[in-house]
Every structure is written in C-alpha cells, then in structure tokens.
Amino acid sequence: MKLEDKLFLVTFNADNQSHISVKDQAICAQCREKPCINGCPADCWEHEKEKNEVLVSFEGCLECGTCRIICPHGNIDWKYPRGGFGVKYKFG
C-alpha cells in the first residue's frame, strides 16, 4: 500500500488554531537544510520562496513529532492539539 493510500485512511478534526508554529522565521530563513520540508510524512511543511518563510499546514498533521525532533535549530513550537481535535486513526 502506498503512503498516499494509507493517509487516505486517517481523518482529522481540525482545530481553528494551530498546534505547531515556527518560533522565529529569521532562523528558518538562514537554515539551508530545512529538514521539516522533506521529513514530514504528511507533507505539511512548505517553503514559501517569495517571503522566504517556512509554513505549516497543521490541519493534516499526523502528530508524529518528527518536525520538532529534526529541526536542527529547535525552532518549532509543537504541542498536541486541544482535546477532541487532531488526527483520528482507525484500524481495520
């Protein structure tokens, strides 16, 4: 089964406020690797080249915590979504 097919099996109850944010965009602007972009299994991160900002689409977050761990600058503020919000895994 491909990753896209697996992602199709999860559902989300997206909050209206993000549980993930960049602490300081100036740090991201200096970061060459930007591992959050390629490391996120749900493809939530993108580099907006015009403004040179790193953006996150928190609504599709799988709550794996990878982005927080792999950011070499500790520049991601991450917490679980509020109760009742976030990803819903169903098995079977």
Residues interacting with ligand SF4, by CB under 6 A?
20, 40-42, 44, 56, 61-67
Of the pair 28, 67, the CB lying nearest ligand SF4 is at 67
Q: Which class for 58: exposed (0-12), middle (13-18), buried (19 or more C-beta within 10 A)?
A: buried
Phi, psi of 69 (to 5 degrees): -75, -40
Q: How far is the CB of 63 from ligand SF4 (least distance, A)?
A: 6
Contact in structure between 53 and 29 (CB atoms under 8 Å): yes
Query: At its nearest, how many Å lie between ligand SF4 and the CB of residue 68?
Result: 7
CB of 79 to ligand SF4, least distance (A): 10
